[in-house]
Amino acid sequence: MYDLIVIGAGWAGISACMEARARGLTCALIDKGPLGGTCLNTGCIPTKTLIHSAKLYSQVKKAAGFGIEIPSSHLDFHKVQQRKQRIIGLLGNGIDSLLKGTQVIQAEAQVIAPDCVRTDSAELRAKRILVATGSIPAQIKDMPFNGNSVLSSDDALKLPEPPESLLIVGGGVIGCEFAGLFSSLGTRVTIVELTGQLLPGMDSDIAARLTACFKKKRIDVRTSCDVRTVDRSVFEKTLVCVGRRPCTQGLGLEQTGVSLRPDGACTVDDMMQTNIPSVFAAGDCTGGIMLAHFAAFQGRRAVKSMSGIPAQVPGDFGPAVPGCVFTDPEIASVGLTEERAAQSNVRVRVYRFDFMASGMARILDETDGYVKIITQESTGKIVGAGIIGPKATELISTLTVAVQAAMTVEQLRDTILPHPTLSEAITEALK
């Protein structure tokens, strides 16, 4: 009998196995697909690899502004795709070493009892089971994926060539990233979003700035727009990006008595435990914040919980979970936005610094955007931040630490950051 069986080899499952090994627990990891789950194979890594190639292609086009003459530039998308697959392979090999000491089983898995998992060829028993089966792209009922004219995000990553025209349905993180990617590659892109702004739920000022940037790039942005009003026949491809849904079907959880929400998500408490004491769940299958780094955090938390270690008490406004959007310019945020603060009746003070005034942003010729820091008026604590601009997805780490540690304006402002860098925009914003 194992101490733990993990179903799902994404970042929640892998992180749980590593935590279990560190605590001396015997562990088996079961997944029918390749190691790395969505993040490595059809999510974070492949999309950001393609996005980086697209950005480099855009930078080459403006090289003359840096005093570099490049006679011509040509995009070989086949080689771009080859590089993507090579990176996935290299990182996949690295996961093998992370899982030393864990029995990895490539098979279908079904929970048939609170202490038993059935695979294609055996029944395995464990003191505890962790479900970490991730999520899959959500579909629109009247617009099912067909892999040809109507694409999922998975399908879009496999395209042999950028389409001439593309309709993107859904202006969330995934839709915006693909809009920026394919626009940079020469595709005529239209993005439609049912709500009143791109990136619903994120800072409205930043969403408005991204909309303006997209329009400069000749991306047709249509907010408050129902896709049923759009003539899809004029587009070569339609890419549906309306979110993701938990992947729990066929696992036998209902028969085992595990409580599931209507969308199929596992219901868990702060310790990642379901209503069945021996069954835990982590990552996208819990239906919460669907981010790889949060899934990894949940996987570790689940194993700590099994080991009797209480969950870390979150801050006044919950755990500091950064969110990133790899558009150009990049976007990142953590903690409260002004809108969420108002909804929570929290009085805030807002600090800003524009990258137009940043020496390094001028050097990079990437001055579009700003740093925005949200502080609680009564305490001076930093409770949120948003960045749109160069390397926003890297810069948000400093502000994530500040929010998690409940730093005050004075503490962060008096921190010495190097010059000339983009990061000094953080402390400059507070002066």
Cα–Cα distance, 358 to 366 (Å, whole number): 10
What three-state secondary structure class fits 338?
helix
Q: Are strands 382-389 and 370-376 parallel, antiparallel or unpaired?
A: antiparallel
Q: What's the rounded Cα separation, in Å, for the pair 285 and 291?
A: 11
d(C-alpha 214, C-alpha 4), whole Å? 47
Question: Which residue type, as a one-letter code, is found at position 255?
Answer: Q
Annotated catalytic, 419? yes
CB 376 within 8 A of CB 383: yes
Q: Which residues pair with 374 in a beta bridge?
A: 350, 384
Instruction: For residue 268, give the 3-state DSSP assignment.
Output: coil
Q: What are phi and psi of 430, to 5 degrees?
A: -90, 0
CB atoms within 10 A of CB 124: 18
Closest CA to 73 of 64, 81, 82: 64
From residue 136, alpha-carbon distances to 220, 239, 286 in Å are 27, 15, 13
Residue 291: CB partners within 8 Å, gap ≥ 6? 321, 323
Q: Is the dihedral of CA 286, 291, 294, 295 positive or negative?
A: positive
DSSP state of 88: H
Is 188 exposed, middle or buried, given 0-12, 13-18 or 19+ CB atoms closer than 10 A? middle
116-118 and 123-131 strand pairing:
antiparallel
Which residues are known to be catalytic?
A: 419
